Amino acid sequence: MNGDAVLELTGLDALIAALIARGYRVIGPRVQDGAIVLDELQHAADLPVGVKDEQSPGRYRLAPRSDNAHFGYVVGPHAYKRVFHVPVETLFRVRRDGRGFEVTETPVDARPVALFGARACDVAATTVQDRVLAEGAHPDPRYVARRKDAFVVAVACNEPGATCFCASMNTGPRPADGFDLSLTELLPEPGVPHRFYVEVGTERGRAVLDEVAHALPSDEDRRRARALADAAVASMDKHLETRHLRDLLIDNPEHPRWRAVAERCITCTSCTLVCPTCFCSSMDDVTSLEGEAERVRRWDSCFTRSYSYMHGGPARPSVEARYRHWLTHKLAGWIDQFGSSGCVGCGRCITWCPAGIDLTEEVAAIRADVKAARGASKEA
């Protein structure tokens, strides 16, 4: 949808208030326990104002900024998938009543939510989760109920982190779609106040914006927003070559790189837990001596031995097999199943891996070996 605007700094608080007045729970970034996590927002002051995150393989730290940036960080360990595909939930309870069993389904908290400050990679990841959990042959009704009517206020990344590679995946750093409103933070310059360039993505977004004091953007506002996006792409050091990537991984299941990375991987499952698109879960049936039981669904990971357990043992008993499955499914099998890559280039799996394993380096190593082998074959 065409249409743009600018909000002054005070307009950010007014935007949150307008969403709350419409009945939305506004979920966005906040500082907690040394990290930027997702929680409910009431005011713009709840945001990580003047805070940045320093990320590298296996390292995450918060540090103060020298300015008043409200979105001067990249992404934290929380992805917006936890709002719709919650980490732990009780699906139903069973009580023995003497004649039989009474089954009570646990109600879903389906209050409408507004995702506030969602980065382009997280907006893209939500679209991927929709394909898996809402639009497939077997939709998850609980996910669908939570996802319904969600409002998305996206935010462009002006300063990508050292583990980001969203430009390689065509998912950022500036949101292209999937939002109701999208913000680009324009920090103050001499004679120009702190403001936000706003792009309107839907009629609903336009209706909310109309409730907040705003102005038409100048050509300079638009130029700065484009320049910030271009500069963000140019500053992104990490890259993943996606050309023929599916075939590269599918055709090299025995490449020695799988074993090499398995010697470093401790199967802690951090990469899958912070990933904004991973959706695996397991079911636990919990019983009590009072004749009650409940079924609990919780996030699981293909890095655990038990996840692939079938009669007689796990199908993927080795670390090598589990890492290969995760990466190959994420970057190759996902395309066959859902029509898109399962990776959005957010870099969380690299940052939060205690061993600093970098999937872009692993793919590049396999690609280089295959290319070298083909060159040697041609020379022979």
Coil, strand or helix: which one is 102? strand
* pLDDT reported for residue 310: 87
Take residue 90 and report the two structure tokens written for it: 């009780």
pLDDT tens-digit readout, 184-220: 999 999 888 999 999 999 999 999 999 999 999 999 9
Cβ contact 185:196 at 8 Å: yes
Is the pTM higher than 0.75? yes
Sign of CA dihedral 47, 72, 34, 300: positive
Cβ contact 36:73 at 8 Å: yes
Helices assigned H by DSSP within the chain = 9-21, 81-84, 120-133, 141-147, 203-209, 219-234, 245-250, 256-262, 270-274, 319-328, 334-338, 348-351, 359-379
How far apart CA 80 and CA 86 sit, in angstroms, is 10
How far apart CA 355 and CA 370 sit, in angstroms, is 25
Average pLDDT over residues 339-355: 96
| pLDDT tier at 288, thresholds 50, 70, 90 | confident
Cβ contact 275:380 at 8 Å: no
| pLDDT tier at 3, thresholds 50, 70, 90 | confident
* pLDDT reported for residue 311: 84
pLDDT at 118 over 80: yes
Q: What is the CA radius of gyration of the chain?
A: 23
- Residue whose C-alpha is closest to residue 29's, from 46, 11, 5: 46
Axis crossing angle, helix 319-328 with helix 359-379, rounded to the nearest 10: 90
Take residue 239 and report the two structure tokens written for it: 């890259």
How far apart CA 107 and CA 127 sit, in angstroms, is 25
pLDDT tens-digit readout, 242-254: 999 999 999 999 9
pLDDT tens-digit readout, 62-116: 999 999 999 999 999 999 999 999 999 999 999 987 778 889 999 999 899 999 9
How far apart CA 280 and CA 239 sit, in angstroms, is 27
Which range has the worst mean pLDDT, 97-101, 164-168, 369-373?
97-101
Length of the chain: 380
Take residue 129 and report the two structure tokens written for it: 């989760």
* pLDDT reported for residue 367: 96
* pLDDT reported for residue 380: 46
Please state, in angstroms and as integers, the Cα–Cα distance from residue 204 to each residue in 67, 81, 130, 152, following that order.
Answer: 32, 22, 20, 10
How far apart CA 271 and CA 316 sit, in angstroms, is 18
| pLDDT tier at 1, thresholds 50, 70, 90 | low
Domain ranges of the chain: 4-89+109-234, 245-280+302-379
Q: Which amino acid is at 156?
A: A
| pLDDT tier at 378, thresholds 50, 70, 90 | low
Take residue 7 and report the two structure tokens written for it: 């909000």
